[in-house]
Structure 1
Amino acid sequence: MTGSLLLRNARLLDPVSGEYTEGDLRSADGRIVEVGPGLTAADMPSVDVRGAVVLPGLVDAHVHVTASTADLGSLPSSSPSYVAVHAARTMGRMLDRGFTTVRDASGADYGLADAQAEGLFRGPRLLFCGRALSQTGGHGDSRTRGTHAKDDHPCCAGLGRVADGVDAVRAAARDELRKGAHHIKVMASGGVASPTDRIDSTQYSAEELSAIVEEAEAANRYVAAHAYTARAVNRALELGVRSIEHGNLLDDRSVSLFLSQEAFLVPTLVTYWALKEEGREHGLPESSWRKVDEVLGAGMAALERAARGGVKLVYGTDLLGGMHRHQNHEFRLRGEVQSPLEVIRSATSTAAELLNLTGEIGTLAVGAHADLLVVDGDPLADLGVLAEPKHFRHVIQGGEVVSG
């Protein structure tokens, strides 16, 4: 996206300071080039947004754009082209919900990222990890007890790849990095949508996790770990994992480790709410649906504990299949614990820090990508403004109005 645009008479929200300024914002070649009162630009289109708030485009740091169904085990039998078309539609709808950047937490690859960047379809900027790394019988192993053959063929759709042993996980991490992974995703505990593991299990040995972290750091990347229990969260943090996904059952020691390790927590409250309400109708197997209760109630308490302790929190949703439409409901859920400004930061400036894109996204500063959200209403007074896309007047990506 390399558009040029002048927004006039805006209320500009800086998510870091939490302050509004009245003025104009001008972008050129997809970047913000000037912010201030009384700007003019005769050679570019302008939009008068008087009465509206302008904030940075939103970031969702835990999505699965290729998860066209909640029955994740069925994905490898789907045509890759079918899954790609589904993903393109899913990403277009994410853009309409105000998300101009997303971090995929397994499933998406360089093909989708390149196609979006080249403008072949509408969608948020896509940061991908390729396949998540899983031990045999781990959260990324979709085989049932009676299935013996392992099919990790790269042409097939799917979210995980199975690798066991230090040498094998090194090779798997290097392979995902070879294909351009922005981060490495690892399954460090059991999960809901996997058939043969328990949520309270830890996964991968310390030696295997350390090897994965070492490979990511050697490539100037980082590791994001799926982990629920305090035991799984804490050992991952101790071994150098930078981003914990979910963390529903963390404890006070977890909070201390997040702070000392300068790590990030990406809660995904809305997916448990959605899975409980309608997961089965979107393909979630009955055995997985029964596991939801183990993490559903604990998520809000974990968020409150982490927020109170000063952990860096990032917005994430983890929705699957037809439940993607609830993406903005996460704002409402987090607003039960955090202030509106804290939630907005989690989807803008703090998310940018996690993604190593500070100054590039999540800000209205000069030089950043001109990814902007124009909303009717004051999100600092009412998070419902962001929870309901009907309040969005314009979504702007790279200086071009792409929705609204």
Structure 2
Amino acid sequence: MITIFENASVLDVEAGTLLPDRHLVVEDGRIREITEAPVAASDARRIDVAGRTLMPGLVDSHVHVTAYSANFTELQRTPPSYVSAAAASIMGGMLDRGFTTVRDVGGADFGLARAVREGLIRGPRLIYGGKALSPTGGHGDVRPAGIDAHDQAYNQPGLGCIVDGVPAVRKAARQEIRRGAHHLKIMGNGGISSPTDRISSDQFSEEEIAAVVEEAEMANLYVVVHAYTARAIKRSLKLGVRSIEHGNLADQDAIAMIKERDAFLVPTLATYRALKDEGVEAGLPAELAAKIDDVLDAGINAVEMAHRAGVTMAYGTDLLGAMHRRQLSEFSLRSGVVPAADLVRAATINGAKLMRMEDEFGQVKAGLSADLIVVEGNPIEDITVLTKPDTHLKLVMARGTVTRSAL
């Protein structure tokens, strides 16, 4: 099947400009060509875009598709079959918001990715790292303080696994690589949803972090770190970590080091606002909610510093449970300090570059995967057009298949 988009205003995300009156041909799941002249093809499906914006599908670089609840202890006790069904529903919602690729940084695995690839689950392309690696008492350790037993079965639902010491860390990293991980994730700092750590605490020894980085680099992968504080960020970067997740408590030196090391920052403002508004209702234990204030207001300041310093940022949300519906709110939350064109890049080409897949998606360009959305309005002039899928998102095409259309 050949699909031809006619009369489209194609968004060049790198230049931040619209190219009007274009015709785009999709064949075998890829963009075959983009022309200024109408395309003759008798057997093609034709979609008249009528001057609307045709742009790359959105990329969310920080998700947890198995996190159907904000209570991670509950998640670990839930049957895998239920979690898979919940993940399918979550991913279908992501696709309907215009996200054609997501990067899962704790929880998703090769089975879910295969199910999406084979069409068994309706969802965006799923880039995954398997279980996030955490030390005992770290952000991936969801045991209450009085519980010592821990079921290490890999198929048990959960976002992380507990490993201590260089040999255990190396083995866990190699296991994720064996299972097809696209990246490795470590917990380098305390977090909100973990019951026994502090936001300010560093996690893993330098030797353990260096071991994970070495294993990743030998497999031509990279390491992602959960880190809030400036100290944790700088420590991770020094040891070779490439992707800083959150970064709310960064200072100028940490931001400068991210830029100097050509690393990526993935802020996730959406989750803190959501957790503040409705986290307890969504399952976050009330005793953990007090941690939110430690990072909520600082997040936007970190984003502003990073933008001014020229740090490459990707779009991330980190939402949990029912709060996944707020996935597009990150655009609005960053819009006060980041121009619309840069926000669009964060959610398209920057995400692709972060995943080292810019030759596969992230732009409207011949040869790339046909991951496309059609929106009413110009997001470069008004970023809010991307936040209103019910009225402004007119079509979603994922890997050459139209999954939603009002055209």
TM-score, scaled to structure 1: 0.98
Q: Is the 8 A contact 1:4 1:30 kept in 2?
A: no
**Structure 1 residue 401: Cα displacement:** 1.1
Match of 2:323, SS state, is: helix
| Matches of 2:248 and 2:81, distance apart in 1 | 35
| Matches of 1:140 and 1:191, distance apart in 2 | 9
| Matches of 1:29 and 1:112, distance apart in 2 | 23
Q: Which residue identity lines up with residue 283 of structure 1 in the other structure?
A: G
Q: Equivalences for 1:1-400 in 2 at 5 Å?
A: 4-22=2-20, 23-37=22-36, 38-390=38-390, 391-400=392-401
Match of 2:308, SS state, is: helix
| Matches of 1:110 and 1:260, distance apart in 2 | 34
Match of 1:67, SS state, is: coil
Structure 1 residue ranges without an equivalent (≥5): none
| Matches of 2:169 and 2:268, distance apart in 1 | 26
> Which 4+ stretches in 1 moved above 3 angstroms?
none
| Matches of 1:152 and 1:5, distance apart in 2 | 48
| Matches of 1:398 and 1:40, distance apart in 2 | 23
| Matches of 1:279 and 1:267, distance apart in 2 | 19
**Structure 1 residue 381: Cα displacement:** 1.2
| Matches of 1:164 and 1:231, distance apart in 2 | 21
| Matches of 1:64 and 1:344, distance apart in 2 | 22
**Structure 1 residue 41: Cα displacement:** 2.2
**Structure 1 residue 195: Cα displacement:** 0.2
Q: Which residue of 1 aligns with 2:403?
A: 402
- Residues 18-56 of structure 1, C-alpha deviations (whole Å, 9 max, x = no match): 111121111100000110122232222010011310000
Which range moved further: 14-23 or 81-90? Answer: 14-23
| Matches of 1:4 and 1:116, distance apart in 2 | 22
Q: Which residue identity lines up with residue 192 of structure 1 in the other structure?
A: I
Q: Which residue identity lines up with residue 393 of structure 2 in the other structure?
A: F
- Residues 45-99 of structure 1, C-alpha deviations (whole Å, 9 max, x = no match): 0100113100000000000000010001111110000000000010001000000
| Matches of 1:366 and 1:399, distance apart in 2 | 13
- Residues 365-403 of structure 1, C-alpha deviations (whole Å, 9 max, x = no match): 111000001001111111110011121000011222101
Match of 2:295, SS state, is: helix
Q: Is the 8 A contact 1:359 1:365 kept in 2?
A: no
| Matches of 2:310 and 2:254, distance apart in 1 | 12
Identity %: 52
Q: Is the 8 A contact 1:374 1:392 kept in 2?
A: yes
Q: Is the 8 A contact 2:17 2:380 kept in 1?
A: no
| Matches of 1:40 and 1:296, distance apart in 2 | 54
Match of 1:345, SS state, is: helix
Structure 2 residue ranges without an equivalent (≥5): none
- Residues 131-171 of structure 1, C-alpha deviations (whole Å, 9 max, x = no match): 00000000000011000001121121011100001111000
Which range moved further: 250-259 or 46-55? Answer: 250-259
Match of 1:283, SS state, is: coil
Aligned length: 402
| Matches of 2:213 and 2:359, distance apart in 1 | 26
| Matches of 2:78 and 2:359, distance apart in 1 | 39
